[in-house]
């Protein structure tokens, strides 16, 4: 392997950062660079960082230090690359002055410019080695589709707008072209991501774009409808992530009933008490959230709602926390993640009075997750006896592991599929199968593969 044409790559952070990594890797491959498997094989190393919370920042700084020690030539990109110290100087360079170059997120051109300076590109680009969908870091059967960059909210616990800037929606024609390319390449599940998916097009005043020779508005409802049609054409799924509970999200729910777009909403409520939400600079309240959830479930009985919450936010009283628990008892969120409040340097919430001790933040998180485990167990018990459509992720001994419409990869549960006795054919990743659920715990399901001709009631099957 020629080190002069070889790049080491470390990708950290959320799916949005993963998409940035895929874009950079695609450009590198298009220009003839190869990807190294070890630091020693690389001519230089690119580290795509995350700086959302302290733990992510520490992981990124550790990765940079390791790359410098093992290789010596390091280019840094991503959210942490955009961070500045109080005097305006570069945060990364102050800690690791030996890095070759530092850029922020969504900076493919800047990263490539830096690569060219320190590792001149090969004479001939190998465009024929690039698959139409580009280089992906996910399994072949699912992929992330990023529809915008940045966020125009200014939640007091978050510094994403400082790192990634305000909302910038990608042209709807290009988004749909990329979606069709991914489906045509064999992708069976497309996960739509951004910092604020529901606000797609707001920055462009919902400008009319064109796709397939027809006008289509840059709006999340029109985008969702078009993605649903594509998914049905390719017998695939579309899953929506990072949806703020805007009123117009109600218009998306009927599209889920048409098939293609899964009955699944990832809605980061963060809290329920109106005073806590006000301190967070978040919209709405627990009562309004409950009204929305009830309305969505009435419109689409099979809908799965995932959310995230924060415990121990500055000023959170025991009474406010209990209010959140009462909200969860009534809302019965299907899938839930919870984090103790983590002070992030530069976040306005750090200046709020009433800091909650770390042990109290963690204790409240544990209490909330125990409640959620009971709720999840109850809801999953209700799936026993039903037949679900499952996307296989992995072939395992005796069957497969996959996911239903209620399960996003890596963050939700797993459906373990058992093959009937005498069945020799393997269940392969990317294959849709029908599974009759036989058992469940608080997180996962277990069931028996049902051949297509003998299926009965099917939940989550695309029309």
Task: Provide the b/e sequence for 303-342 (b: ≥16 CB within 10 Å).
Answer: bbbbbbbbbbbbebeeebbebbeebbeebebbbbebbbbb
The span from the CA of 417 to the CA of 449, in Å, is 6
SS3 163: helix
Beta pairing, strands 399-403 & 387-396? antiparallel
Alpha helices of 15-84 — where are they, by DSSP H? 15-30, 54-70
Estimate the share of the chain in helix, then strand, then coil, as percent rounded to the nearest 5.
35, 25, 40
| Axis crossing angle, helix 108-118 with helix 15-30, rounded to the nearest 10 | 50
Main-chain phi, psi angles of 317, to 5 degrees: -90, 170
Q: Per the annotation, does 338 bind a ligand?
A: no
The span from the CA of 215 to the CA of 54, in Å, is 44
Q: Per the annotation, does 155 bind a ligand?
A: yes
Question: DSSP characters for 126-143?
Answer: -GGGS-TT---SS-TTEE
Q: Per the annotation, does 300 bind a ligand?
A: no
Cβ atoms of 445 and 416 closer than 8 Å: yes
Binding-site residue positions for [4Fe-4S] cluster: 14, 50, 79, 151, 155, 158
Binding-site residue positions: 14, 50, 79, 151, 155, 158
């Amino acid at each position: 392997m020629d080190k002069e044409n070889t790049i080491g790559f470390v990708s950290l952070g959320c799916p949005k950062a993963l998409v940035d990594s895929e874009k950079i890797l695609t450009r590198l491959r298009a220009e003839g660079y190869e990807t190294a498997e070890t630091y020693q094989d690389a001519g230089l190393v690119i580290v795509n960082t995350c700086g959302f919370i302290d733990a992510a920042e520490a992981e990124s700084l550790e990765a940079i230090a390791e790359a410098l020690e093992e290789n010596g030539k390091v280019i840094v990109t991503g959210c942490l690359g955009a961070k500045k110290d109080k005097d305006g100087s570069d945060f990364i360079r102050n800690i690791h002055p030996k890095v070759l170059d530092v850029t922020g997120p969504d900076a493919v051109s800047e990263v490539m410019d830096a690569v060219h300076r320190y590792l001149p590109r090969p004479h001939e680009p190998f465009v024929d080695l690039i698959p139409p969908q580009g280089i992906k870091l996910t399994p072949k059967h699912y992929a992330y589709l990023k529809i915008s960059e940045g966020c125009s909210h200014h939640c007091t616990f978050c510094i994403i707008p400082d790192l990634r800037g305000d909302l910038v929606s990608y042209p709807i024609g290009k988004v749909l072209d990329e979606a069709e390319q991914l489906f045509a390449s064999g992708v069976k599940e497309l996960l739509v991501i951004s910092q604020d998916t529901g606000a797609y097009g707001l920055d462009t005043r919902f400008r009319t774009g064109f796709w397939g020779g027809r006008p289509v508005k840059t709006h999340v409802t029109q985008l969702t409808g078009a993605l649903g049609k594509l998914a049905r054409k390719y017998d695939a799924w579309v899953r929506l992530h990072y949806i703020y509970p805007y009123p117009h999200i109600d218009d998306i729910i009927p599209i889920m009933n048409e098939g293609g777009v899964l009955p699944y909403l990832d809605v980061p409520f963060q809290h329920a008490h109106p005073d806590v939400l006000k301190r967070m600079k978040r919209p709405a309240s627990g009562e309004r959230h409950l009204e929305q959830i009830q309305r969505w479930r009435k419109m689409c009985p099979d809908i799965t709602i995932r959310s995230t919450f924060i415990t121990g936010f500055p000023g959170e009283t025991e009474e406010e926390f209990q209010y959140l628990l009462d909200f969860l008892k009534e809302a019965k969120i299907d899938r839930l993640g919870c984090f103790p409040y983590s002070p992030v340097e530069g976040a306005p919430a750090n200046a709020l009075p009433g800091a909650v001790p770390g042990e109290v933040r963690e204790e409240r998180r544990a209490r909330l997750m125990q409640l959620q485990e009971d709720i999840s167990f109850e809801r999953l018990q209700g799936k026993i006896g039903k037949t679900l459509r499952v996307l296989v992720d992995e072939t395992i001994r005796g069957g497969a592991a996959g996911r239903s419409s209620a399960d996003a990869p890596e963050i939700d549960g797993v459906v373990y599929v058992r093959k009937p006795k005498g069945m020799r054919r393997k269940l392969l990743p990317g294959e849709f199968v029908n599974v009759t659920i036989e058992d469940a715990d608080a997180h996962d399901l277990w069931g028996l593969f049902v051949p297509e001709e003998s299926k009965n009631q099917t939940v989550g099957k695309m029309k």
